[in-house]
Chains A and B, each alone.
Chain A
Amino acid sequence: MSGGSLGSREIRLVCRLQPGSRGIDGILEALKAASYTLDGNNILRGSLRAELRATSLSGDEVVILVKSAEPDEFRSFLNLLVRECWYVDVYYHLRGGDIKAAAGDLGIQLPEDGVYRSRVRFSGVELKVDAYPKHGALTVSYRAGWREVNSGAALRIHEKILGMGGGRGIIGKLLGWIR
């Protein structure tokens, strides 16, 4: 009997659709046109594995969970989404050992207990940090639009939070990150 092995990194994308848009259908068509494979709720292309998780009843938001992706593939995916959406809120959920490293990279000293909330700037973007040190959980989020993706800030944030900066080895670069 297994306890259920889980990874420690997830990315949640909350896509706010443009007023008057065709809702999720517009996003799905754009994904198909860009050669993404749609299999049920799964979105696949290259190293990217993502899943449609929820849609608000009012149809104004769509939640997508990115399970794995090379940085370039992630940037390309985000690029497509911000074209179709008003904006995309990007959430990085880290657990366990990853949280201290990620907080340290962002220049944050986490307390041992309680709920920690802060805002830091990186690459000209304001990042919101929510940490629950007692539970070994950290969430970093920011709002991505055209500017954040085209300026390369989104990719730099991605690499910073997931520890994929210049120091990463060739194997790591080949593998991307895997849950």
Chain B
Amino acid sequence: MSEEYKREYVFGLDYGTSDFKFGPIALGEVPEVIENRGYFIDRSSLMSRIMGVDREIVVGKDISRFLESREDLAERMVYPMRNGVIARDDERAWRVIRELTRYALESFAPPDEEFQGFYVVASISIVSPRYMYERLFEIFRELNRDRVLVKAATIIPQPLAVAISQKTPTCTVVESGHGNTQICPISMYPVRNAVIALNRGGGAANTLTMEILKDAGYGDLAKEESFVRLVKEKIGLIPRNLDEAIRYAKGNPEKVKVSLKIPGTRIKIVLDDMAWTRFLIGEFIFNPGHEIFQSYFARGMPKPSDIKIGDTYFYGMMDMAEAVITSVERCSIELQPHLYSRILLSGGNFSWDVPEGLEGIAVRPDEKLRQQLLEKEIEGANVSIVEDPKYSVWRGCIVYGYAVPHDYEWRWERMEGWMYVA
């Protein structure tokens, strides 16, 4: 198998906590995106037999056509990467990962004989334990039983993929997805003993948005997560300073009020006198410890808790700047200034805009973190959001797969190289 063949058939898989991004190098700079979830169909039901449904798990854009009642959703819908780690014995989650992977590879596998499998670069959380690597390689092997889809595979941590996509060998990557946030200093390789993980991401902001919707009289709609996520994305704002932003919103309600019509439905969300709560959504991502959130916790909103998964602690309430500082300060003193001088924000949880007319009151995530760091006496930090933050991990996968020579075989001791599975 030649280097030329490998370069033509590099394939990236980014197993995000909420979205699964995938596609071959031939797609250019933009991968396909589907939700990282699978729906287990009740095949014993009469309707599924009448309709001739022969699949057990549905993934991809077809899912919404198979959904049953709301009550069934919680039981049958599986989000395998919710916090970035799948338990070794969580068979339902692993089956969803297998189906998602098959869906991705089959979508782009050419039918001709020249094709002898992709060179797959998969990316998973930096806190993923070794058994997840082993299980993924096993899945790639299994998928080859029907038809060779994977020639060789390699697996890299998501923060490293971001650094590769930005061609930045020394930096601090803050990768924030739906379920968690990973803060990882990188000096050629990830500094693994300095990694800090937060048990919150876009999903925590969804939870708060749900409470805001309930308070605004939309409690019946707030039960569906995809709806809540859409509302969050459309109305959420990051305040430069939360107290000032709330004062501004209450004094200038016409500038902050918002109404949102959900396409294809009769549903319309209007926030008038409660428009100030838009700023709470963004603040919660950066600083859930602000006293204003106590009233939500007191009323039963779950507090992001500290949890331990495998050997890793995921902190629930640590603010974003504190997490960055804690992570950087675990590295050598000589390295620390370099790590502050290039902080890269990546992941779908950093895709926030500032609406026209609210400049200075609302800010983008890079400005928010810079401000937070300054308050903790970290001056001159250079924080930037990577271009298209949702896709940077996938792009890093493609660059990595392109660059690593085809004859560089996988080594467990270094966790790099190609594992041939066909």
Q: Do A and B bind each other?
A: yes
Q: Looking at the complex, which of B50-58, B102-110, B187-195, B326-334 is the stretch in contact with chain A?
A: B102-110
**Contact: B29 with A57, CB < 8 Å?**
no
**Contact: B402 with A56, CB < 8 Å?**
yes
* Residues 1-45 of A at the B interface (beta carbon under 8 Å): 1-4, 6, 10, 12, 14, 41
* Residues 357-399 of B at the A interface (beta carbon under 8 Å): 388-391, 399
**Contact: B29 with A56, CB < 8 Å?**
no
User: 12 A-B residue contacts at CB 8 Å?
Assistant: A1-B351, A1-B352, A4-B351, A4-B391, A6-B29, A53-B399, A57-B403, A115-B107, A117-B111, A135-B23, A135-B107, A139-B28
A1-B351, A57-B403 known; A139+B27 contact, CB < 8 A: yes
Q: Looking at the complex, which of B65-73, B171-179, B231-239, B253-261 is the stretch in contact with chain A?
A: B231-239
Question: How far is the CB of A156 from the nearest CB of chain B, in Å?
Answer: 22
A2-B352, A3-B351, A4-B388 known; A10+B28 contact, CB < 8 A: yes
A3-B233, A115-B109 known; A63+B388 contact, CB < 8 A: no
Residues in chain A near residue B389, CB distance under 8 A: 4
**Contact: A55 with B110, CB < 8 Å?**
no
**Contact: B399 with A93, CB < 8 Å?**
no
Whole-angstrom CA separation of A65 from B107 in the bound complex = 25
Within 8 Å by CB of A93, from B27, B108, B236, lies B27
Q: Give the 5 A-B CB pairs with smallest separation, nearest first.
A: A93-B28, A1-B233, A2-B353, A10-B28, A54-B399
Within 8 Å by CB of B353, from A1, A63, A117, A135, lies A1
* Chain A residues engaging chain B, CB cutoff 8 angstroms: 1-4, 6, 10, 12, 14, 41, 52-58, 61, 63, 65, 91, 93, 95, 114-115, 117, 130, 132, 134-135, 137, 139
Residues in chain B near residue A56, CB distance under 8 A: 3, 7, 402-403, 405
Q: Mark B31-50, 1 if CB is under 8 A from A, else 0.
A: 01000000000000000000
Q: Does B30 contact A (CB under 8 A)?
A: yes
Q: Chain B: which residue is nearest A136 at the CB level? A: B32
Q: Chain A: which residue is nearest B391 at the CB level? A: A4
Residues in chain A near residue B391, CB distance under 8 A: 4
**Contact: A114 with B402, CB < 8 Å?**
no
Question: How far is the CB of B138 from the nearest CB of chain A, in Å?
Answer: 26
Whole-angstrom CA separation of A53 from B167 in the bound complex = 8
Residues in chain B near residue A91, CB distance under 8 A: 26, 28
Q: Does B270 contact A (CB under 8 A)?
A: no
> Knowing that A115-B110, A115-B111, A135-B32 are A-B contacts, what are 16 other residue pairs whose CB atoms are under 8 Å apart, sorted by A's residue number?
A1-B233, A1-B236, A10-B29, A52-B167, A53-B399, A56-B403, A57-B405, A63-B402, A91-B28, A93-B26, A93-B27, A117-B110, A130-B26, A135-B107, A137-B28, A139-B26
Q: Chain A: which residue is nearest B26 at the CB level? A: A139
Q: Mark B133-171, 1 if CB is under 8 A from A, else 0.
A: 000000000000000000000000000000000010000
**Contact: A6 with B30, CB < 8 Å?**
yes
Residues in chain A near residue B167, CB distance under 8 A: 41, 52, 54
Residues in chain B near residue A1, CB distance under 8 A: 232-234, 236, 351-353
A1-B232, A4-B351, A135-B107 known; A12+B28 contact, CB < 8 A: yes
Q: Does B90 contact A (CB under 8 A)?
A: no
Whole-angstrom CA separation of A72 from B209 in the bound complex = 50
**Contact: B388 with A54, CB < 8 Å?**
no
Question: How far is the CB of B384 from the nearest CB of chain A, in Å?
Answer: 12
Q: Chain A: which residue is nearest B282 at the CB level? A: A1
Q: Does B216 contact A (CB under 8 A)?
A: no
Residues in chain A near residue B233, CB distance under 8 A: 1-3
Residues in chain A near residue B27, CB distance under 8 A: 93, 132, 135, 137, 139
Greatest chain A CB density within 10 A among B232, B389, B391, B403 is at: B403
Q: Chain A: which residue is nearest B61 at the CB level? A: A134
* Residues 311-350 of B at the A interface (beta carbon under 8 Å): none
Question: How far is the CB of B64 from the nearest CB of chain A, in Å?
Answer: 16
Q: Does B85 contact A (CB under 8 A)?
A: no
* Residues 207-247 of B at the A interface (beta carbon under 8 Å): 232-234, 236
Residues in chain A near residue B32, CB distance under 8 A: 135
Question: How far is the CB of A149 from the nearest CB of chain B, in Å?
Answer: 22
Whole-angstrom CA separation of A15 from B99 in the bound complex = 37
Whole-angstrom CA separation of A95 from B27 in the bound complex = 9
A6-B388, A12-B28, A56-B402 known; A61+B110 contact, CB < 8 A: no
Q: Does B89 contact A (CB under 8 A)?
A: no
Question: How far is the CB of A179 from the nearest CB of chain B, in Å?
Answer: 9
Q: Does B404 contact A (CB under 8 A)?
A: yes
Within 8 Å by CB of B390, from A4, A115, A139, lies A4
Within 8 Å by CB of A132, from B29, B108, B112, B403, lies B108
